[in-house]
């Protein structure tokens, strides 16, 4: 097995969002104020990687207004190279979060349709130019779920990255509501992305969605993925048992073609905010 690329930047491709969340354990309509922060799957990965000392950049489109520039500046503050961010007219993608409490699960409401990123002219992207200087490309299924043009852009991105010899990592990040909004064929699209990937972050449910079948466990799913995708080298996933909103048991596993390594579950109590935990795992 050849080594993964360690030269060049790690480039993340995806939408940068603003998250609006109720403080504490309140519901959104119970509070007169909300907390605002920058988020998005690829942005979270980029910030985590930069914090760990990697050279990382993000390719995205933001609205040419105060919100878009503030989001760009927040990423820059954490050490992410934002020179590949374009600004165009339009709106900022948002999502609203009602944190869970006790037995009440957290709720996420997306408001990202027709954002500057979703409406960007992705078909005109010169991916060989965008990928210049990068040694690694990271994308997620959230990006592919935003509409047919963005899905095609994600496929073109990983295809060009593969052609140029970059390492490609892909987080399945299946979001059913986003796919249903445009009747997207998640299985067919994610399969095309995974076919160009070296590393996938996903579990047996993700592999079942993409390949069909009903793998009994993560190792069986990994074997199916390795058989279907000759270029795939690693599959990694977390396993979460949620005792309550603020008490989870977290385990992880890494699968190669030759075997598996498991990290035993740890009990995590007094959880403050679990959003983005999977992105942090992908970065680590």
Write out the chain's pLDDT in tens, 284 residues: 567 877 889 999 999 999 999 888 888 888 889 999 999 999 999 999 999 999 999 999 999 999 999 999 999 999 999 999 999 999 999 999 988 777 788 889 999 999 999 999 999 999 999 999 999 999 999 999 999 999 999 999 999 999 999 999 999 999 999 999 999 999 999 999 999 999 999 999 999 999 999 988 899 999 999 999 999 999 999 988 888 888 889 899 999 999 999 999 999 998 888 888 889 889 98
Least Cα distance to 145 among 93, 99, 72, 97 occurs for 93
> What is the pTM (predicted TM-score) of this model?
0.94
Q: Tell me, what DSSP letter sits at residue 271? A: -
Nearest 5 degrees, angle CA 183-CA 189-CA 193? Answer: 155
State the burial class of residue 6 (Cβ atoms within 10 Å of its Cβ: 0-12, 13-18, 19+). exposed
Domain ranges within the chain, ordered by starting residue = 9-232
State which CATH number among 3.30.430.20, 3.30.70.60, 3.40.1190.20, 2.102.10.10 fits the domain covering 9-232.
Answer: 3.40.1190.20
State the burial class of residue 119 (Cβ atoms within 10 Å of its Cβ: 0-12, 13-18, 19+). middle
């Amino acid at each position: 097995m050849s080594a993964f690329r360690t030269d060049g930047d790690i480039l993340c491709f995806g939408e940068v969002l603003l998250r609006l969340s109720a403080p504490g354990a309140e519901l959104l309509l119970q509070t007169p104020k909300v907390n605002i922060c920058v988020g998005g799957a690829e942005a979270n990965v980029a910030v985590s990687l930069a914090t760990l000392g990697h050279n990382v950049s993000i390719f995205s489109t933001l609205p040419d207004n105060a919100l878009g520039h503030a989001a760009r500046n927040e990423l820059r503050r954490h050490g992410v190279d934002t020179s590949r961010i374009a600004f165009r007219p339009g709106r900022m993608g948002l999502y609203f979060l009602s944190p869970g409490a006790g037995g009440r699960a957290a709720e996420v409401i997306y408001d990202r349709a027709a954002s500057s990123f979703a409406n960007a002219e992705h078909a005109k992207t010169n991916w060989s130019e965008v990928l210049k200087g990068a040694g690694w490309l990271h994308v997620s299924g959230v990006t592919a779920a935003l509409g047919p043009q963005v899905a095609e852009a994600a496929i073109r991105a990983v295809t060009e990255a593969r052609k140029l010899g970059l390492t490609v990592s892909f987080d399945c990040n299946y979001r059913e509501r986003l796919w249903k909004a445009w009747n997207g064929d998640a299985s067919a699209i994610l399969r095309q992305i995974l076919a160009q990937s070296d590393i996938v972050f996903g579990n047996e449910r993700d592999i079942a969605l993409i390949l069909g079948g009903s793998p009994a466990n993560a190792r069986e799913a990994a074997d199916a993925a390795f058989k279907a995708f000759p270029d795939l080298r690693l599959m990694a996933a977390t396993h979460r048992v949620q005792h309550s909103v603020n008490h989870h048991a977290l385990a992880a596993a890494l699968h190669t073609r030759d075997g598996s390594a498991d990290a035993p579950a740890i009990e995590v109590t007094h959880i403050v905010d679990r959003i983005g935990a999977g992105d942090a795992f992908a970065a680590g």
